[in-house]
Amino acid sequence: MTKGIYFSAHWCPPCRGFTPELAKFYNTCADEKFMIVFISSDRDEASFKEYYNEMPWSALKFEDRDAKAKLSEMFGVQGIPTFIILNGNGDVVEKGGRGVVMNKIGNGDFSAKSW
């Protein structure tokens, strides 16, 4: 199963622009084995909840800041939005998943299988 880890936040304009595109992609390939987990960089739980309501996938609990910090370090996240794509074994397939998704949408390719 292909997995995506989405580092993002409500206050981030590029994130706010990418999230609906990622949701469109996700919903179009929902019949495939594809899973996303949102890792929030929001400043408070209310912002997290408001933003997460726009997402059709799973999320790390906002209060689990230690896990968020560990995941950010593990994947070398330098800024947001960052979308990391992993294969079924948990190996990184693509660190620049945002660009990949946007290219796929632009080409009309709504398949997560080609990663």
Tell me the CATH number at 75: 3.40.30.10
Q: Give a yes or no: residue 61 inside a domain.
A: yes
Q: Give a yes or no: residue 112 inside a domain.
A: no
Q: Give a yes or no: residue 82 inside a domain.
A: yes
Task: Please give the share of the chain, as a percent, with pLDDT higher than 90.
Answer: 80
Residue 34: predicted pLDDT: 83
The residue assigned the tokens 């409500």 is 10
Average pLDDT over every residue of 72-83: 97
Q: How many domains does the chain have?
A: 1
Q: Give a yes or no: residue 67 inside a domain.
A: yes
Domain housing 36: 2-106
| Nearest C-alpha neighbor of 98 from the set 5, 2, 1 | 5
Q: Give a yes or no: residue 114 inside a domain.
A: no
Q: What is the pTM of this model?
A: 0.93
